Amino acid sequence: MTQPSFCCPDHSGAQDAASILSQAQARAARLGLRLTPVRLRTLEMLIAAHGALGAYDVLEKLAAEGFGTQPPVAYRALNWLVEHGFAHRIRRLNAFTACSHPAHDHAAAFLICTACDSVTEAPAAEVTAALTDAAGQAGFAIDRATIEAVGRCHACTGAAA
Amino acid sequence: MTQPSFCCPDHSGAQDAASILSQAQARAARLGLRLTPVRLRTLEMLIAAHGALGAYDVLEKLAAEGFGTQPPVAYRALNWLVEHGFAHRIRRLNAFTACSHPAHDHAAAFLICTACDSVTEAPAAEVTAALTDAAGQAGFAIDRATIEAVGRCHACTGAAA
DNA sequence: CCTTGACTGTTATGATATAACATTAGATAG
DNA sequence: CTATCTAATGTTATATCATAACAGTCAAGG
Ligand SMILES: [Zn+2]
Ligand SMILES: [Zn+2]
Ligand SMILES: [Zn+2]
Ligand SMILES: [Zn+2]
């Protein structure tokens, strides 16, 4: 349910997975963050996943690899990755996805395809600017924002009529 | 926990509650939608609430008033209200809030104050336009979007240092 | 050594949400 | 005015998501 039997043609996960991972490792080194075995494996799973993974999906895999078997194991790793900018939480799906640009801090929007379950991270600088502006008119000062869109990805728009 | 002991000074809930409710009733009449007793009471609760209400908060009140006592009672009313534009779901809070402009369909952004737990609906036409544009550049066609910001409302920015 | 703090693990529980089915109340056709 | 159909409401039971609280491990520093 979390993952379709195969991926969107244009969801080029595999080809830049190595690149994302090395960016993440570079970031961790630069900031002195400890990317421990559980955290690293969790991040690798998120990177390898075609869509977002639920905490219990991650937990199941971690347990199968000999890590802890209880929910906090997965939640701790996932929350740590999110806090430190290696992953994002997708609230609409109660799930998590690897950050595709861990090299730098950034505002992101997520594009969730209802046909293939892919989740794409889109640059959201302008969206965030518009949101900050709209909030400012109400006298509201933004800390963090969640921007998620549900629809059809490029591949699925073309494919299914 | 869902509701602070008292409200932000500028959260003028009470004064336009009647107006929001009558707009909602007009909408229901216009579209031939049945705003039954459970649905109406649920909507009134959302309108009266200072912040968003969780499904179980609503359920508790409904049960106390003689409606059903089980979760589906609340979830059905809430989901119906959301589907038909009378309320919005706030994913970050796992909660629901009354739509403050039920007269017309609209894209909305939500401003969630971490100090007073208020949730304000802000017009989001421009934010949505920016998001649609960003998605379009990735070939993604948006159905619906969730836009939620966490921060400090006007009253709380002034009040707390 | 031995304390300290970060990390990993566990048990137990809490919080959110839905599936499946029974019952009731309005609408409609004969 | 019934028979029938459907939308709405209710229930039981269960699924799914998330955290609190505490115990053991281990490496760094005094
Ligand atoms: Zn990112
Ligand atoms: Zn797709
Ligand atoms: Zn609204
Ligand atoms: Zn506030």
> How far apart are the CA of B67 and the nearest CA of chain A, in angstroms?
29
The spacing between the Cα labelled CA in B109 and the C1' in C15, in angstroms, equals: 25
The residue among B138, B154, B160, B111 whose CA lies nearest residue B9 is B154
pTM of the model: 0.90
> Residue A106: helix, strand or coil by DSSP?
coil
pLDDT digits (tens, 9 = 90+) for B8-17: 444 454 568 9
* Structure confidence at residue B145 (pLDDT): 97
Q: Check residue A132 and report its DSSP letter.
A: H
A122 vs B contacts (CB less than 8 Å): 134-135, 137-138, 140
* Structure confidence at residue A159 (pLDDT): 64
Q: How far is the CA of B87 from the centre of ligand 1 (A)?
A: 30
For residue A69, name the pLDDT band (cuts at 50, 70, 90). very high
| Residues pairing with A53 in the sheet | A96
B17: Cβ–Cβ under 8 A, 6 or more apart, which residues?
A: B47, B48
pLDDT digits (tens, 9 = 90+) for B44-92: 999 999 899 999 999 999 999 999 999 999 999 999 999 999 999 999 9
Best of A11, A93, A111 to substitute, by most chain B Cβ atoms within 10 angstroms, is A111
Q: Which nucleotide is nearest to A71 (CA to C1')?
A: D18
**Chain B, window 125-144: residues with a beta carbon less than 8 angstroms from a chain A beta carbon:** 126-127, 129-131, 133-135, 137-144
* Structure confidence at residue B15 (pLDDT): 61
B17 touches chain A (CB under 8 A): no
CB neighbours of residue B136 within 10 Å: 13
Domain boundaries, chain B: 9-160
For residue A76, name the pLDDT band (cuts at 50, 70, 90). very high
The residue among B151, B54, B92 whose CA lies nearest residue A92 is B92
Q: Does domain A9-160 fall into CATH 3.10.20.30?
A: no
**Among A109, A142, A143, beta carbon nearest to B134:** A109
Residue nearest to nucleotide C10 (CA to C1'): A70
State the average pLDDT over residues B12-41.
89
Ligand nearest to the CA of A89: 1
The spacing between the Cα labelled CA in B20 and the C1' in D17, in angstroms, equals: 34
Residue A117 backbone class (left: φ over 0; alpha: ψ -120 to 50; beta: rest)? left
Q: How far is the CA of B7 from the centre of ligand 4 (A)?
A: 8
**Could B138 and A154 be called an inter-chain contact, meaning their C-beta atoms sit closer than 8 Å?**
yes
Percent of chain A with pLDDT strictly greater than 90: 86
Higher-confidence residue: B139 or A6?
B139
Q: How far is CA B143 from the centre of its chain?
A: 19
Ligand nearest to the CA of A121: 1
Residue A13, CA atoms < 13 Å, CB-side half-sphere: 20
> For the range B121-125, what are the long-range contacts, defined as Cβ-Cβ under 8 Å and sequence gap of 24 or more?
B121/B88, B121/B97, B122/A134, B122/A135, B122/A137, B122/A138, B122/A140, B123/A134, B124/A131, B124/A134
pLDDT digits (tens, 9 = 90+) for A88-140: 999 999 999 999 999 999 999 999 999 999 999 999 999 999 999 999 999 99
- How far apart (Å, rounded) are the C-alpha atoms in residues B28 and A129? 35
For residue B160, name the pLDDT band (cuts at 50, 70, 90). low
A142 vs B contacts (CB less than 8 Å): 111, 149-151
